Chains A and B, each alone.
Chain A
């Protein structure tokens, strides 16, 4: 009778978990199929991509598609490495700036007293519902009027205001005891010192979460390249991948190349998430919505 239902977060395998394992295994295989498919297609030689009947798994893996992609892009004037460089640079800058801006704001909104704090918090919670694509037009006009159309900043600035980042960080900082800050104040520490030496080290888990979310939005973001930039050399990888896929008229002919492209887009995401997922879970647990 005791412990019958207390099966959450178990330490080891028990027969009663079997049904979950069966279901989850089948589902995982199903969910992973397209991803496995991309890995296989990326390494398929030309003959296998066109083979009839179509084959799911690669027989004779080759790096042909990778070479093809880079040769193809070299001929089109702007090498793929340029897009890759743009993407990496934009993503790194966006992550660093987002973390700085969001964490300092979240610290103030959680632990400092000032006029308008409650209102700001409420508006920010409301802004969680914000749908960025819905206001692409005004954003475009604002970007043009700021004079950053066709610059790197047009990629970076629109991604910096992240209500969900503030939200996650603030909820986490709310859980830190006020005594910590009081003690530091008595010792004569300034607010910046408190922020830099006490808060920042303690909020690593939600910072990692925000970093991952920012990476995902920035790395896959096509809005910047589509709307805020029209110079080819300033565009980023996902835009290039999209043109590659839709531009290469025949679906199957470009399949190998686009699989390689998708792989390049996907793998960094996956690796980052696998490495950091424990911290993500930690911080997600503190996602309370309070007004």
Chain B
């Protein structure tokens, strides 16, 4: 009798020990994190060394996928890589600078009007791809009823309508334009908040110390005071641009878009993965993309990180 109650007390304590364990708090996230982030990356790396058509078992082929990808796949080399890099290297840094510049301006106007500006400037990034297909397709429509064509013809800048979305040389600049238009996302909000929270006495002290103009103010006080937000903005900008996919297809109305204009690495992976069912090859493409993203992030950590 006595023994049993001791046992019960013991098991109760054990239960409360489990309930109180820190691991219980991270368990749900930890499990999801492993299943949805760690495991997919590992699976992708594993599959990238195989031939896998989703029906038969994966067959190990060594580095064949990578060799094919980096030596024989002209679509990937000429379009996928170069388009993705071009898009990211233009939209990333310019969008980032723009985000800082706008946040800096916004921090210098009064609260109420700032809210209105912020909502408007942030809104494009929450409209997403749907907006793109609806609005931009109509604006850049190829015939004379397309808004841009109509206005340009009215201003007599062009004589006949331009096929904006069907011609390879126009599609990419349009994608970059749309990318920039929607680039004021989370990073922009973080930068603005960072700016607004800089201690004002820092500026006062700096003026006593003889800082003369706004440039000095920005470089010696503003940016160093908000380094974490600057880094966060940079990481978000990189991810945002490398995430871009399907834009060309949506705009031009076909997969692949004419002459693979605007074809991105992710498009290429989706093409091989979900249309041709060559999962091994597609995985090799995604691994290459992940490596590129990590490299770019490492660079931004070097530039903006504390160490």
Residues of A within 8 A of B290 (CB): 131, 134-135
Indicate whether A225 reaches chain B with its CB closer than 8 angstroms: no
Residues of A within 8 A of B192 (CB): 281, 284
Task: Write the nearest CB–CB distance from B245 to chain A, whole angstroms.
Answer: 6
A105 in contact with B22 (CB, 8 Å)? no
Indicate whether B274 reaches chain A with its CB closer than 8 angstroms: yes
Residues of B within 8 A of A246 (CB): 133, 250, 253
Indicate whether A265 reaches chain B with its CB closer than 8 angstroms: yes
B26 in contact with A281 (CB, 8 Å)? no
Asked whether A242 and B130 contact (CB < 8 A) given A120-B26, A133-B245, the answer is yes
Majority-rule SS of B interface residues: helix
A284 in contact with B134 (CB, 8 Å)? no
Identify B135's interface contact among A34, A134, A142, CB under 8 A.
Answer: A34
Indicate whether B61 reaches chain A with its CB closer than 8 angstroms: no
B150 in contact with A53 (CB, 8 Å)? yes
Identify B129's interface contact among A31, A222, A270, CB under 8 A.
Answer: A222
Indicate whether A113 reaches chain B with its CB closer than 8 angstroms: yes
B37 in contact with A280 (CB, 8 Å)? no
Identify A138's interface contact among B25, B40, B129, B305, CB under 8 A.
Answer: B40
B109 in contact with A134 (CB, 8 Å)? no
B39 in contact with A138 (CB, 8 Å)? yes
A136 in contact with B120 (CB, 8 Å)? no
Asked whether A5 and B217 contact (CB < 8 A) given A252-B138, A287-B229, the answer is yes
Residues of A within 8 A of B190 (CB): 284, 287
B120 in contact with A28 (CB, 8 Å)? yes
Residues of A within 8 A of B37 (CB): 127, 130, 161, 163
- Stretch of B2-10, B71-79, B155-163, B236-244 lying at the A interface: B236-244
Most chain B beta-carbon contacts within 10 A, residue among A20, A100, A222: A20
Q: Identify which of residues 25-41 in chain B touch chain A, using a CB-to-CB cut-off of 8 Å.
A: 25-26, 28-30, 32-33, 35-41
Identify B193's interface contact among A32, A107, A285, CB under 8 A.
Answer: A285
CA distance A12 to B196 in the complex (A): 15
- Stretch of B62-70, B89-97, B111-119, B168-176 lying at the A interface: B111-119
Chain A minimum-CB-distance residue to B120: A28
B94-128 interface bits toward A, Cβ cutoff 8 Å, 1 = contact, 0 = none: 00000000100111111101011111111110111
B135 in contact with A160 (CB, 8 Å)? no
A133-164 interface bits toward B, Cβ cutoff 8 Å, 1 = contact, 0 = none: 11111111110001000000000011011011
B124 in contact with A31 (CB, 8 Å)? yes
Interface size class of B (residues with CB under 8 A): 35 or more
Task: Write the nearest CB–CB distance from B70 to chain A, whole angstroms.
Answer: 17
CA distance A190 to B203 in the complex (A): 45
A269 in contact with B126 (CB, 8 Å)? yes
Residues of A within 8 A of B194 (CB): 284-285, 287
A8 in contact with B134 (CB, 8 Å)? no
A105 in contact with B28 (CB, 8 Å)? yes
Residues of B within 8 A of A259 (CB): 134
Asked whether A142 and B29 contact (CB < 8 A) given A31-B121, A261-B130, the answer is no
Indicate whether A56 reaches chain B with its CB closer than 8 angstroms: yes
Residues of A within 8 A of B186 (CB): 164, 213, 284
B32 in contact with A157 (CB, 8 Å)? yes
Indicate whether B247 reaches chain A with its CB closer than 8 angstroms: no
Identify A277's interface contact among B23, B32, B119, B307, CB under 8 A.
Answer: B119
- Stretch of A35-43, A73-81, A83-91, A176-184 lying at the B interface: A35-43
Residues of B within 8 A of A251 (CB): 137-138, 141, 253
CA distance A277 to B23 in the complex (A): 33
Indicate whether B248 reaches chain A with its CB closer than 8 angstroms: no
B111 in contact with A23 (CB, 8 Å)? no
CA distance A6 to B196 in the complex (A): 12
B134 in contact with A281 (CB, 8 Å)? no
A245 in contact with B133 (CB, 8 Å)? yes
CA distance A5 to B217 in the complex (A): 8
A173-199 interface bits toward B, Cβ cutoff 8 Å, 1 = contact, 0 = none: 000000000000000001110010000
Residues of A within 8 A of B19 (CB): 190, 192
CA distance A124 to B231 in the complex (A): 16
A5 in contact with B135 (CB, 8 Å)? no
- A-B CB proximity, top 6 nearest: A108-B25, A105-B29, A138-B43, A284-B193, A288-B228, A138-B40
Besides A5-B207, A37-B139, 7 other CB < 8 A contacts? A10-B108, A129-B235, A138-B42, A160-B36, A163-B37, A252-B141, A266-B131
